[in-house]
């Protein structure tokens, strides 16, 4: 085993060495301690200016060092320390060209191994950045402009020393806060400036420009021209503003002289080009090169027509030139073309630059790439249109939901009123109670649907996997719907089940409850739209990887143009469908969400007037022997006898308590009540019950805290939580604090008795 592992390691080492040797970008060079090259790869030969590696062997690597000091320090450091990291030097090629490289070297057995990386472009880029930094510092210093940087989140502002000097103060005399600027504003300018500022923040443009007066330390007012730009977050909201103050109290001459430099500095985040009067490009900033794809060297001296995409008519440019030659600023959008041929849209302003005599000498173009913005605006318009349509569907859904709620409520309230009549026969009472129960079930199913939609949207449904028989599930649904169809006037619809003949594939592991819910939703949907004919459902095994279920009906079918919307929430193929057949339009959407959670997909095939076939696949997870753990009840619900047992019901709602009291008393139990968490703790300590039914939403002290205190006193006390919230996190919280179990309201008798039987 060790030999095998060592072989694998050796093989991998050989692979790495081969990759390094043949790397097109990493040079490898081996020399003796005098620098004589004994081995090199092609990448290093290319860096040194040789087309063939053989031409390098035997030469001294130091001969190519541009700086003699590098020759001495390189060898000395390697010999002294045994290695060398990140050593930079310039190589001179035989043709006279040079390149910058970075060397990592080690000395072993009198052989120096060097790994060389060319960093020429990196060094040039660093030098360019440093030059830009020096240019920026020089520009800001020479301009006499005060710089400010406002963080809108923290409301803190940085004021440069020049900014403070403009109003006669030393740096330490004005704190860096927004109020410092406000205090210095002229009272007559205050409202106007603030109104313009916040209007800009609500609808930020390329830049913000305004003039106002500020109080100087000597008591005079100085006219300030403020120019700023903002940084926008992903939601389109400014979170930072950066700007400059220019003292324009001085003469127009000084103002004009600073204009070109000022705009170039202020608007550096956008593309800037300065041209001669005839349109030849004299200066571009890095953003211009980034936007157009042209290096600076390729555009200097070129006419701006190199960006012309052909999208604009001659009249467009005629208006532009007329505007700027008259001394005015032209603002508009260009559709231009990059060097690579791609098209982009920019919002540009072109302004003339005048000399002291008022003559135009140059033009400045400041451009912002709005390609993405235009696309976003288009997408927003489309999204708005979709939202408006969705709002219509939502309103229709709410109206339909109102109908779906009020219809069963009408039955519940109406027949509850009838039950008050004293002359009712027993048969009438039973029928009225059945109607009330049926309508309560309809309402509960409606609430469950709404909760399921909410859970799916919030990704709060947690699958509870179990092992079960597919055959039994399909047969059980078949038996149920053959009975159920008669209760909804669908007796003429034949219920057909199809089960494949391979029993060894019968048992699977998945979420039984959610799978049954999906099938039930699909079958109910078919029953709604099928008055005669048949509904067939079953499953098949696909490639031993998936179980494919289907529900086939001979109903009204679905128009082809509506297939794409039936799985959307609140949607029906036609509003008349809702009026005729009822329903909320949630069932298919819920089914789609649940199928997705089970790792599958769902689809439909349909023909109007001929019926539909709904199909879905989920992963096939077979089990050979289902692991079924029987629950042994201490006292089976069918023989429940609670005589002599004491129940504490913690419930603040009177009718909820009265319901539990009545059903427990009828089984012989003694029932006491606590309304708050404090009362519950006190009663358990003073008169311990046999079991506590604890509501979780209580006044003063909630059920969670009450349970914790009870178990501090009696850790063996059986407590069953009752909650109106069926969300997984709520249920998990019940178990986390130690509840034996939980009941979700409305509490049904069978569930209550079964739960009690488990623990008493």
Given a cut of 60, is residue 378 above it in pLDDT? yes
Class of domain 2-118 as given by CATH: alpha beta
Distance between CA atoms of residues 467 and 469, nearest Å: 7
**Lowest-confidence segment of 239-248, 528-537, 738-747 by average pLDDT:** 738-747
Whole-number Cα distances in Å, 192 to 189, 203, 248: 5, 17, 19
- Bridge-based pairing state of the strands 146-151 and 156-159: antiparallel
Q: Are 294 and 391 in contact (CB under 8 A)?
A: no
Residues 237-257 as b or e (16 or more Cβ within 10 Å = b):
ebeebbbbbbbeeeeeeeeeb
Residues 631-663 as b or e (16 or more Cβ within 10 Å = b):
eebebebeebebeebebbbbbbeeebbebbbeb
The third-level CATH classification (topology) of the domain covering 637-759 is Rossmann fold (3.40.50)
Given a cut of 70, is residue 637 above it in pLDDT? no
Give the confidence band of 628 by pLDDT, cuts at 50, 70, 90: very low
Contacts of 566 (CB under 8 A, 6+ apart): 558, 572, 573, 588, 604
Given a cut of 50, is residue 742 above it in pLDDT? yes
Q: Which helix (H) or strand (E) holds 197?
A: helix 187-202
Give the confidence band of 238 by pLDDT, cuts at 50, 70, 90: very high
Given a cut of 50, is residue 146 above it in pLDDT? yes
Q: Select the more confidently predicted residue: 174 or 571.
A: 174
Say which DSSP state 65 is in.
Answer: B
Is the pTM higher than 0.75? The answer reads: no
Mean pLDDT, the chain, as a whole number?
Answer: 84
Q: Select the more confidently predicted residue: 686 or 422.
A: 686
Convert the pLDDT of each residue in 188-201 to its tens digit.
999 999 999 999 99
The mean pLDDT of 23-45, rounded to a whole number, is: 88
Given a cut of 50, is residue 632 above it in pLDDT? no
Q: Are 69 and 77 in contact (CB under 8 A)?
A: no
Query: How deeply is 516 buried, as exposed, middle or buried, from its count of CB atoms within 10 A (0-12, 13-18, 19+)?
Result: middle
Contacts of 497 (CB under 8 A, 6+ apart): 474, 475, 477, 478, 536, 537, 538
Two structure tokens written together for 380: 């927003």
What's the confidence (pLDDT) of residue 578? 46
**Lowest-confidence segment of 66-75, 329-338, 591-600, 658-667 by average pLDDT:** 66-75
Convert the pLDDT of each residue in 75-125 to its tens digit.
788 888 888 888 888 888 888 888 889 999 999 888 999 999 988 888 888
Please, what is the end-to-end C-alpha distance for the chain in angstroms? 60
Q: Which CATH superfamily is domain 270-369 in?
A: PAS domain (3.30.450.20)
CATH 3.30.750.210 is right for the domain spanning 129-264: no
Beta-bridge mates of residue 497: 537
List where CATH 1.10.287.130 sits in the chain: 378-454
Given a cut of 60, is residue 612 above it in pLDDT? yes
Q: Helix (H, G, I), strand (E, B), or coil: what is residue 596?
A: helix
| CATH number assigned to the domain with residue range 462-619, chosen from the 4 options 3.40.50.300, 3.40.50.1400, 2.70.150.10, 3.30.565.10 | 3.30.565.10
User: For residue 684, which of 663, 701, 664 has the smallest C-alpha distance?
Assistant: 701
| CATH number assigned to the domain with residue range 378-454, chosen from the 4 options 3.30.70.1060, 1.10.287.130, 3.30.110.30, 3.40.309.10 | 1.10.287.130
Q: Are 699 and 676 in contact (CB under 8 A)?
A: yes
What's the confidence (pLDDT) of residue 583? 55
Give the confidence band of 729 by pLDDT, cuts at 50, 70, 90: low
Q: Which helix (H) or strand (E) holds 117?
A: strand 111-118
What would the 3-class secondary structure string for 681-716 be?
Answer: HHHHHHCCCCEEEEECCCCCCCHHHHHHHHHHHCCC
The mean pLDDT of 530-552, rounded to a whole number, is: 92
List where CATH 3.30.565.10 sits in the chain: 462-619
The mean pLDDT of 460-485, rounded to a whole number, is: 86
Two structure tokens written together for 681: 């703790």
Given a cut of 80, is residue 251 above it in pLDDT? no
- The alpha carbon of 749 is separated from its chain's Cα centroid by a whole number of angstroms, namely 44
Q: Select the more confidently predicted residue: 723 or 393.
A: 723
What's the confidence (pLDDT) of residue 267? 56
Convert the pLDDT of each residue in 258-307 to its tens digit.
565 655 555 567 888 899 998 899 988 888 898 999 998 999 999 988 89
Residues 307-332 as b or e (16 or more Cβ within 10 Å = b):
beeeeeeeeeeeebeebbeeeeebee
Convert the pLDDT of each residue in 348-374 to its tens digit.
999 999 988 889 999 999 888 998 888
Whole-number Cα distances in Å, 156 to 1, 14, 175, 184, 409: 66, 59, 10, 16, 58
Q: Select the more confidently predicted residue: 732 or 339.
A: 339
Q: Select the more confidently predicted residue: 307 or 731.
A: 307
Q: How large a percentage of the chain has pLDDT more than 90?
A: 31
Two structure tokens written together for 277: 């009067």
C-alpha angle 305/281/269, rounded to 5°? 100
What's the confidence (pLDDT) of residue 390? 72
List where CATH 3.30.450.20 sits in the chain: 2-118, 129-264, 270-369
């Amino acid at each position: 085993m060790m030999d095998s592992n060592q072989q694998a390691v050796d093989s991998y080492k050989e692979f790495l060495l081969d990759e390094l040797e043949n790397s097109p970008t990493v040079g490898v060079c081996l020399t003796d301690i005098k620098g004589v090259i004994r081995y090199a790869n092609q990448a290093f030969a290319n860096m040194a200016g040789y087309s063939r590696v053989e031409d390098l062997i035997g030469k001294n690597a130091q001969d190519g060092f541009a700086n003699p000091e590098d020759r001495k320090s390189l060898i000395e450091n390697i010999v002294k320390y045994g290695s060398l990291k990140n050593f930079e030097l310039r190589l001179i090629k035989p043709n006279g060209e040079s390149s910058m490289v970075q060397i990592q070297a080690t000395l072993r057995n009198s052989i120096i191994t060097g790994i060389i990386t060319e960093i020429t472009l990196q060094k040039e880029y660093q030098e360019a950045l440093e030059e830009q930094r020096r240019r920026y510092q020089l520009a800001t210093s020479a301009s006499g402009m005060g710089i400010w940087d406002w963080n809108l989140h923290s409301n803190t502002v940085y004021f440069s020393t020049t900014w403070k000097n403009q109003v006669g103060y030393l740096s330490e005399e004005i704190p860096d806060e927004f109020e410092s600027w406000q205090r210095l504003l002229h009272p007559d300018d205050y409202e106007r400036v603030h109104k313009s500022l916040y209007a800009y923040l609500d609808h930020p443009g390329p830049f913000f420009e305004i003039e106002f007066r500020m109080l100087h330390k000597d008591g005079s007012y100085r006219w300030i021209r403020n120019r700023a730009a903002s940084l926008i977050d992903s939601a389109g909201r400014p979170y930072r503003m950066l700007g400059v103050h220019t003292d324009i109290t001085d003469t127009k001459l000084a103002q004009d002289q600073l204009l070109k430099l000022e705009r170039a500095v202020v608007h550096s985040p956008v593309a800037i080009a300065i041209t001669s009067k005839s349109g030849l490009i004299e200066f571009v900033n890095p953003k211009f090169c980034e936007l157009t794809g042209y290096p600076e060297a390729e555009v200097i001296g070129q006419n701006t027509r190199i960006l012309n995409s052909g999208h604009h008519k001659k009249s467009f440019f005629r208006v532009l030139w007329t505007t700027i030659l008259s001394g005015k600023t032209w603002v508009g959008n260009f559709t231009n073309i990059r060097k690579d041929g791609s098209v982009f849209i920019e919002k540009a302003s072109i302004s003339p630059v005048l000399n002291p005599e008022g003559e135009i000498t140059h033009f400045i173009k400041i451009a912002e790439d709005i390609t993405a913005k235009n696309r976003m605006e288009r997408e927003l318009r489309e999204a708005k249109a979709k939202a408006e349509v969705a709002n219509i569907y939502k309103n229709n859904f709410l109206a339909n939901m109102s109908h779906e709620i009020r219809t069963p409520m009408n039955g519940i309230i109406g027949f509850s009123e009838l039950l008050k009549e004293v002359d009712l026969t027993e048969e009438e009472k039973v029928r009225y109670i059945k109607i009330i129960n049926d309508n309560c079930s309809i309402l509960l199913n409606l609430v469950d649907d709404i909760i399921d939609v909410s859970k799916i949207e919030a990704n709060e449904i947690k699958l509870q996997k179990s092992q079960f028989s597919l055959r039994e599930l399909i047969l059980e649904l078949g038996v149920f719907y053959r009975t159920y169809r008669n209760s909804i006037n669908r007796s003429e619809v034949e219920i057909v089940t199809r089960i494949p003949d391979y029993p060894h594939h019968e048992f699977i592991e998945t979420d039984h409850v959610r799978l049954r819910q999906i099938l039930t939703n699909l079958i109910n949907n078919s029953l709604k739209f099928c008055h005669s004919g048949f509904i067939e459902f079953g499953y098949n095994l696909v490639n031993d990887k998936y179980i494919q279920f289907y529900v086939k009906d001979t109903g009204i079918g679905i128009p082809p143009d509506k297939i794409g919307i039936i799985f959307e929430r609140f949607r029906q193929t036609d509003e008349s469908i809702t009026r005729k057949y009822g329903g909320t339009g949630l069932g298919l959407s819920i089914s789609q969400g649940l199928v997705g959670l089970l790792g599958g997909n769902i689809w439909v095939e349909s023909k109007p007037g001929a019926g539909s076939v709904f199909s879905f696949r989920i992963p096939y997870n077979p089990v050979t022997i289902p692991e079924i753990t029987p629950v042994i009840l201490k006292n089976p619900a069918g023989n429940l006898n609670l005589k002599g047992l004491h129940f504490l019901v913690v419930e603040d709602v009177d009718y909820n308590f009265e319901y539990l009291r009545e059903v427990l008393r009828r089984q012989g139990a003694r029932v006491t009540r606590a309304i708050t968490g404090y009362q519950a703790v006190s009663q358990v300590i003073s008169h311990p019950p046999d079991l506590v039914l604890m509501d979780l939403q209580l006044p003063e002290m909630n059920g969670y805290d009450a349970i914790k205190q009870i178990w501090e006193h009696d850790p063996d006390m059986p407590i069953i939580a009752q909650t109106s919230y069926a969300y997984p996190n709520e249920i998990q919280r019940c178990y986390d604090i130690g509840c034996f179990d939980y009941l979700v309201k409305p509490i049904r008798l069978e569930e209550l008795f079964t739960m009690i039987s488990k623990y008493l």
